Amino acid sequence: MRSQRPASEQLARYRAILTASWAIRHKLAGPERLTDEAAFLPAAMSLQETPAHPAPLRLAW
pTM (two decimals): 0.44
Type of residue found at 29: A
Give the C-alpha separation, 19 to 30, whole Å.
20
45-54 confidence digits (pLDDT tens)? 777 667 778 8
Give the C-alpha separation, 57 to 11, whole Å.
44
14-32 confidence digits (pLDDT tens)? 999 999 999 998 888 777 7
- pLDDT score for 51: 72
The SS3 of residue 40 is: helix
